[in-house]
Structure 1
Amino acid sequence: MRTSTRLKLAAAASAIAVVAAAGNMTDPAGFGFFASPARAEDGSGGPENSKGNQGGQGEGSQGAQAGQGNQGGQGTGQGGPDPDSDSKGPQAGGPADTGSSGGKPVWAQEGIPEVELGRLSVARSPDQVLDRAYAEALATLTDEMIDFYNIASDDGWVALLDALSNDWDELSLIDSPLQNLSLMKEALDGTSALSDLGVTTDNDTLLAIFLGVASDKTVAISTDTVIAVTTILGDPVTGSDADDLAAAAEAIRIAVLAGHG
């Protein structure tokens, strides 16, 4: 193993340990994003069902994506930010982000935290783009991908982070930011369609995976990131739920960064 890779893995392991301790993440079931009646008390509404395609084919506003594992290929850009860009996310009081109706979306009117979103800014894609990506993701889900998403339920949270850090090139998973965010949007009501396709990992862990894999590898995921992205997706996660999801997704992001070497 290269010295630089060892150092990255050591740094990632250290950071993951800190995040895990802070977020009580030794067991995925302990996240408890939806433990209390609910997020309705935080003013969150039910999400619209929208969907995302499989890794390597980044579609929509993310531009061309590099595939990972055995899921290579390129996607078709639709005028959005480059996947590796360090663009800022939408900001309160900023220019209107108009959809097909020509009006401001609710999140643009009410504002979101000022936070760097990078690849996560594709959450602003029109509903029809997210819907198409979601349908393609489910259509291309393979047994190998199901095995990946079941690592946490079969072997535990630490095993999931270890696989992302050390076996990235051998893993099959949905890698596209747009596809992950469309799956996240669908799962924000507490259930994921992946559960009907053989995935047994709990929904909270899946949310962390979707967000952590979708994010730029070098841009930290904070509570404000979670609030901004989930607000754009139409089902805001706030308070302690946002703290927990941010900590879990950040651990995923760090593991992915280590896995890329």
Structure 2
Amino acid sequence: MMKENKRSLSMGVAYALFAISAASLVTGVSVFPTSAHAEEHDGGKGGQGGQGGQGGQGGQGHDGGGKGGPSDDSEGKGPKAGSQGKPGSSGKPAWAQEGIPEVELGRLSVARSPDKVLDRALAEVLANWVPANSALYSMTAAAFADYVKANWDSINIVDSPLQNLALMEALLDGTLNLSAINVNPASTLDLAAIFLGVASDKTVPISTDTAIALNIIMDLGLTSTQVETLADKAEDVREAVLEAHG
């Protein structure tokens, strides 16, 4: 009788354990305090390693795999190699943010250069500034364009796309010391347009999409109206340089 009671008790315990195990399989939750469960509370999942890896595919992760920049088959031209860039709200570098128009940048691709490269270009152009150019860069973009067409052979303007974009960026973020180069711009956008128009390829039109792309890549903070104005003025300058250059 005692054996039967013990057997019944053993069977009852076995069925109970089986039922609990089955419930664990259905719900995916273990009811037993396993070592894996303990590790979970010890911080095993605290870093969300798997999710961090997925975020890296969009340049948001922290796995250091360099996935934030354009891949070999991407549309990126002249990526900011070796630089984290200016982070956007998604954690990506500014030049890797979504919303950049599909537009040919040509020489303007250097906008994706690391900040230290742009800083070096800025320091170089300011150190070698031609005082005679100060009055020229104080003109409106339209007047600058007319002057360039009429006096191309006798002027010595800044031609480097990297230096021009470095000047434009410093101007728009307020760090360009205009008094040091004796420039009194007709307006901030006029001077920015001069820099942009000369920086561009002579044969690649500057459209609103071009200005939108640079606004995102360089994190310029321009409004949509300012972007359109910049593009229009810069295109006038580009056309003048093309015509003057022949």
TM over 0.5: yes
How does the TM-score come out when normalised to structure 2?
Answer: 0.61
Q: Which runs of no fewer than 5 residues in structure 2 stay unpaired?
A: 1-73, 86-90
Q: Cα distance 1:143–1:112, how it changes in 2: closer, same or farther (>3 A)?
A: same
Partner of 2:172: 188
Matched to 1:142, the amino acid is V
Match of 1:255 among 236, 240, 243: 240
CA distance in 1, matches of 2:234, 2:141: 12
Decide which structure has the larger Cα Rg and report it. Answer: 2
**1:120 maps onto 2:108 in alignment:** yes
* TM alignment of 1:39-188, pairs within 5 A: 90=76, 98-101=81-84, 104-150=92-138, 152=139, 158-188=142-172
Partner of 1:245: 230
CA distance in 2, matches of 1:101, 1:190: 22
**1:234 maps onto 2:219 in alignment:** yes
After superposition, the C-alpha distances for 1:140-185 in whole angstroms (9 at most, x for unaligned) are 01212213213x1xxx554322211121121121110000001111
CA distance in 1, matches of 2:164, 2:79: 25
CA distance in 1, matches of 2:166, 2:239: 22
Whether the aligned pair in 2 keeps the contact of 1:231 and 1:237 (CA below 8 Å) is no
Matched to 1:185, the amino acid is E
Matched to 1:99, the amino acid is G
Q: How many matched pairs?
A: 167
Partner of 1:199: 183
Whether the aligned pair in 1 keeps the contact of 2:141 and 2:234 (CA below 8 Å) is no
RMSD: 2.6
Partner of 1:209: 194
CA distance in 2, matches of 1:232, 1:128: 15
Secondary structure (helix, strand or coil) at the match of 1:112 reads: coil
Q: Cα distance 1:96–1:170, how it changes in 2: closer, same or farther (>3 A)?
A: closer
Q: Cα distance 1:143–1:231, how it changes in 2: closer, same or farther (>3 A)?
A: same
Q: Cα distance 1:181–1:135, how it changes in 2: closer, same or farther (>3 A)?
A: same
Shift of 1:120: 0.1
CA distance in 2, matches of 1:130, 1:187: 13
Partner of 1:32: none
Shift of 1:194: 2.7
Larger RCO, structures 1/2 (Cα 8 Å, 6+ apart): 1
Q: Which runs of no fewer than 5 residues in structure 1 stay unpaired?
A: 1-87
Of all paired residues, the percent bearing the same amino acid is: 53
CA distance in 2, matches of 1:237, 1:128: 22
Matched to 1:253, the amino acid is R
Secondary structure (helix, strand or coil) at the match of 2:82 reads: coil
How does the TM-score come out when normalised to structure 1?
Answer: 0.58
CA distance in 2, matches of 1:146, 1:125: 27
More helix by share: 2
CA distance in 2, matches of 1:252, 1:160: 7
Shift of 1:97: 5.5
